[in-house]
Amino acid sequence: MAEIVLDKVTKQYPDGAVAVKDVDIEIADGEFIILVGPSGCGKSTTLNMIAGLEDITSGELRIGGERVNERAPKDRDIAMVFQSYALYPHMTVKENMAFPLRLAKVDNATVEKKVRDAAEILDLTQHLDRKPSNLSGGQRQRVAMGRAIVRSPKAFLMDEPLSNLDAKLRVQMRTSVSRLQKQLGTTTVYVTHDQTEAMTLGDRVVVMRGGAVQQVGAPQFLYDHPANLFVAGFIGSPSMNFVPAGLENGVLRSALGDVPLTDRVRGLLAGADAPREVIMGLRPEHFEDARLVEEHLRGGGVTFTSNVDVLESMGSDKFAYFSLSGEQATSQELAELAADAGSADVPGGGVSLVTRISAASTATEGEQAEIWFDADKVQLFDPDTGRNLTYSTE
């Protein structure tokens, strides 16, 4: 067990392309940290550099206080779980799990014991003599985990270990990965493109984009206090709504109507040197059916009326979708997020809005609904730099 420190780590390929740029991350001993971001953001490259499967162009990587830049993967004492599981097809489950121990020339009795123990933890005991080709996806995934844990390495690296599983099993395995990590207390670096996994698994989350770290923090902190437009849009499902707004005399003029700045927002904006045109960000759960909001609370927010495009009832609450007239919020970050979500070419004239309202709401599809939102929850972003103008650490 050990802490892992990435100190200005950069990866540049011979053709000049920079995959990872000046990444600084300090991972504490026993911490579960998630690298998350859209494909091509450099998260896997970062993981491979920690593993030793990719050379580090510049910067320093320290594991347990020692510089390991030049060490071969096998000398770093870390184990890795691959997306494809990378099980050896010619070996049985037992042989697969024993492989790292055999290579380390551990004696037979110890190998036997460690494999049994790992198999027990992962509920693989009855499959030990089977070949990987005869196992289900979930079982293969567990064998891959087993191969990693038998050695009791300094750290686990996991490269999208759950993305080849079907949705239901993924949720189940997510819990067991989390439990296993807690049980073993081994430093774990986990790469995923799925923000739900990032939110639910990690002690801390590192959001990456284009090879650079955007923000590092606890899941809830990233959700509540995104440092920029990219993090705001990436974390959360359904994602944050972005509406262009003009800042005039302490009032935000937008497609949702005029939004007065609350004291909190005004205070934060004062030090932020805000431009006149901003992007207003609102989480879906900060909306509510106006009829269900008590009178004395209404004053703290803004009410607008619009036609409900689509209404999805989730049982516990409802998602109401609106399209408002006016310009869509545009910025490089938002375009990237849309491209990653595959919605870049979806025609969307005007501002589309997702709201999460109470299940008790009587709003109906195709009819007008009166929707209220909390003006104090508004986050404002600079459309050019993407910076969160209302960022605070409290």
Partner 1 sequence: MSHALTTETKEKPGPSPKAKAALSEGKKAERRLGLLLCAPAILVMAAVAGWPIIYSVWLSLQRFDLKFPDRVEFVGLDNYVTVLSNSYWWNAMWITIVITVVSVLIELVLGMALALIMHRTLVGRGIVRTSSLIPYGIVTVVAAFSWRYAWTPGTGYLAEIVAGGEPVLTEKIPAVMVVILAEIWKTTPFMALLLMAGLALVPDDLLKAAAMDGANAWQRFIKVMVPVMKPAILVALLFRTLDAFRIFDNLFVLTGGSQGTSSVSMITYNNLIKGLNLGIGSTMSVLIFIAVAIIAFIFIKLFGTAAPGSDNGRR
Which residues, at least 6 apart from 16, have a Cβ–Cβ distance to it below 8 Å?
none
Binder of partner 1 out of 84, 134, 152, 392 (CB under 8 A): 84
- In the block, residue with structure tokens 């087993």: 146
Q: How far is the CB of 85 from partner 1 (least distance, A)?
A: 8
How would you list the strands of the sheet with 301-307, edge to edge?
A: 287-289, 368-374, 301-307
Q: How far is the CB of 40 from partner 1 (least distance, A)?
A: 18
Binder of partner 1 out of 1, 55, 58, 103 (CB under 8 A): 103
- CB nearer partner 1, residue 146 or residue 244: 146
Q: Check binding of 51 to partner 1 (CB under 8 A).
A: yes
Q: Check binding of 132 to partner 1 (CB under 8 A).
A: no
Give me 226's structure tokens.
């995104």
Q: How far is the CB of 139 from partner 1 (least distance, A)?
A: 9
Q: How far is the CB of 153 from partner 1 (least distance, A)?
A: 9
Q: Check binding of 90 to partner 1 (CB under 8 A).
A: yes
225 within 8 A of 393, measured Cβ to Cβ: yes
Which candidate, 236, 259, 253, 248, places its Cα nearest to that of 376?
Answer: 259
Q: Report the distance separating Cα 144 and Cα 215, nearest Å.
A: 30
- Report which DSSP code applies to 325: S
Task: Say how many residues make up the chain.
Answer: 394
Q: What are phi and psi for residue 225, nearest 5 degrees?
A: -130, 65
Q: Check binding of 147 to partner 1 (CB under 8 A).
A: yes
The torsion of the CA quartet 380, 383, 384, 390, rounded to 10 degrees, works out to 0
Binder of partner 1 out of 15, 16, 65, 72 (CB under 8 A): 72
Q: Report the distance separating Cα 95 and Cα 115, nearest Å.
A: 9
Q: Check binding of 40 to partner 1 (CB under 8 A).
A: no
Q: Check binding of 73 to partner 1 (CB under 8 A).
A: yes
> How far, in whole angstroms, is CA 185 from its chain's centroid?
21
- CB nearer partner 1, residue 96 or residue 215: 96
Q: How far is the CB of 231 from partner 1 (least distance, A)?
A: 30
Q: Check binding of 138 to partner 1 (CB under 8 A).
A: yes
- CB nearer partner 1, residue 80 or residue 308: 80
| Torsion sign over Cα 126, 132, 135, 141 | positive
Instruction: Give me the residues that bind partner 1 (CB under 8 A), please.
Output: 51-53, 72-74, 78-80, 82-84, 86, 88-90, 99-100, 103-104, 133, 138, 147
